């Protein structure tokens, strides 16, 4: 009856009918999803994962997804139970099933099994609701009075409500590339401005960090017509595209700055490897500020600007970078990939991909020290940020914030409050 056992990507128990998806089906396949559905696939792109998350999809089973791939991270952000790493079968298509995010897919379950898992699902959901309710309005403060901010990683407008419900202190990383990937054409300044302000209005005074476009590698909107690359993770992506494509970068900066007039907005730039890149960014942003001033358009001239530290180069020159910015966000998913020379999306290497490797922890400590010396604040983003075994270590390093999937915040808040 248990058709597959896989590596858990996100917990939870859900019932649905299996939809076996393959990439050649195209987007017309999404129209077929009407009832609660468990998507089963060999591969799933980040774009497809996002689209399924907007439909009546209750779980994912993906053979070739690694625990730190974008598919895994997105499933956590959206709160979908998910499994990876096991063989899947097209003959399951259309059959009723139960996904247990703890590690099992049960296809065509009998009635006693359905009843058993229904009770388990109710119990799991009740415990999650109670945990979120109890911790929502509490601060993340240790018993000795040390505090840390718990921010949410989000991908879309709808994720803001999930972040608020789980007690996030703010948004530490709005990944704008998924907004671009869901669009059939390049989103313009006004469209972006409306989205940013709508999201920010729900947060009140909470910080709202908007990351500029991070496309490339496995996140590529078709309308950008980016050429295939031998090593896309090391290729033309993120800030490298933005600095080349001012027609993309400038409208986004204008939209973010305009939104900063109405909320606690900050800008974050991904994949920085040099001081020169930061200086180019500051020159462009300065010019945009002059233009907005000349057009009598309000914005926060003192808006915080930060960079992601996700390359070994940025770690090693973080002492030079810190005086140029207001904050660092240490992106541990990509930093681990580049530091250990291990593809984060390769399931065969999942056991070797260790974000708590001593090299990563020493990098975090060094970056935090350099940030503090320059008066910048620092956040840790990525799956490592939710590792409760390291929370006390991060506090000792002087980390100011942890940015995690919304569903991880309640338990992480409890963990912080239990630290002496």
Residue-range domain boundaries for the chain: 2-109, 139-417
* 236 vs 243: CA distance, rounded Å: 11
* 12 vs 407: CA distance, rounded Å: 11
Q: Indicate the pairing of strand 104-107 with strand 7-10.
A: unpaired
Name the nearest CA neighbour of 196 among 185, 212, 215: 212
Given CATH 3.20.20.60, say whether it is the number of domain 139-417. Answer: yes
Q: How many CA atoms does the CB half-sphere of 65 hold within 13 Å?
A: 30
Check residue 213 and report its DSSP letter: P
DSSP string for 39-79: EEES---HHHHHHHHTTTEEEEEETT--TTSHHHHHHHHHT
Give the torsion through C-alpha atoms of 156, 171, 239, 79, to 10 deg: -40
Q: Which residue matches tokens 């799991």?
A: 124
Given CATH 3.20.20.210, say whether it is the number of domain 2-109. Answer: no
Q: Is there a common fold for 2-109 and 139-417?
A: no
How many CB atoms within 10 Å of residue 111?
7
Q: At what angle do helices 358-374 and 332-340 cross, to 10 degrees?
A: 120
* 303 vs 268: CA distance, rounded Å: 11
pLDDT digit string (tens) for the chain, length 420 residues: 556 566 666 678 999 999 998 877 766 677 778 899 999 998 888 778 877 877 889 999 988 877 777 777 788 878 888 888 778 888 999 999 999 888 889 999 999 999 999 999 999 889 888 888 888 888 899 999 999 999 999 988 888 988 999 999 999 999 998 888 777 788 899 999 999 999 988 888 889 999 999 887 666 766 676 777 777 778 888 999 999 999 999 999 999 999 999 999 999 999 999 999 999 999 999 999 999 999 999 999 999 999 999 999 999 999 999 999 999 999 998 999 999 988 777 767 777 777 789 999 999 999 999 999 999 999 999 889 999 999 999 999 999 999 999 989 999 999 999 998
């Amino acid at each position: 009856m248990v058709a597959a056992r896989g590596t858990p990507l996100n917990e939870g128990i859900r019932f649905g009918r299996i939809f076996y998806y393959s990439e050649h089906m195209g987007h017309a396949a999404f129209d077929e999803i009407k009832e609660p559905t468990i998507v089963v696939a060999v591969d799933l792109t980040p774009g497809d994962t996002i689209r399924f998350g907007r439909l009546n999809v209750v779980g994912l089973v993906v053979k070739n997804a690694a625990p730190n791939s974008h598919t895994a991270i997105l499933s956590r952000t959206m709160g979908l139970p998910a499994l990876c790493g096991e063989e899947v079968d097209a003959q399951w298509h259309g059959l009723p099933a139960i996904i247990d995010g703890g590690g099992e897919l049960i296809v065509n379950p009998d009635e006693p099994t359905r009843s058993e898992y229904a009770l388990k699902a109710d119990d799991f959901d009740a415990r999650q609701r109670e945990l979120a309710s109890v911790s929502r309005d509490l601060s993340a403060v240790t018993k000795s009075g040390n505090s840390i901010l718990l921010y949410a990683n989000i991908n879309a407008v709808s994720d803001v409500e999930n972040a608020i419900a789980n007690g996030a202190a703010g948004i530490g990383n709005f990944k704008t590339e998924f907004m671009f990937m869901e669009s059939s054409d390049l989103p313009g300044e006004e469209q972006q401005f409306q989205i940013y302000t709508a999201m920010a209005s729900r947060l009140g005074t909470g910080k709202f960090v908007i990351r500029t476009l991070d496309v490339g590698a496995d996140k590529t909107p078709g309308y950008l017509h980016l050429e295939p690359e031998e090593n896309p993770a090391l290729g033309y992506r993120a800030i490298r595209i933005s600095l080349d494509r001012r027609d993309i970068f400038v409208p986004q900066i204008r939209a973010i700055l305009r939104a900063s007039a109405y909320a606690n907005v900050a800008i974050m730039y991904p994949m920085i490897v040099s001081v020169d890149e930061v200086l180019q960014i500051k020159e462009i942003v300065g010019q945009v500020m002059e233009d907005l001033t000349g057009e009598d358009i309000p914005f926060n001239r003192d808006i915080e600007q930060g960079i992601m530290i996700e390359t070994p180069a940025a770690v090693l020159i973080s002492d030079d970078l810190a005086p140029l910015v207001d904050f660092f966000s240490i992106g541990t998913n990509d930093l681990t990939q580049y530091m250990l020379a291990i593809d984060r999306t390769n399931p065969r290497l999942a056991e070797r991909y260790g974000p708590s490797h001593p090299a990563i922890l020493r990098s975090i400590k060094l970056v935090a020290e350099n940030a503090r010396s320059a008066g910048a604040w620092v956040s840790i983003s990525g799956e490592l940020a939710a590792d409760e075994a390291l929370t006390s270590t991060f506090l000792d390093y002087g980390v100011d914030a942890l940015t995690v999937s919304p569903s991880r915040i309640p338990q992480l808040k409890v963990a912080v409050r239990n630290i002496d």
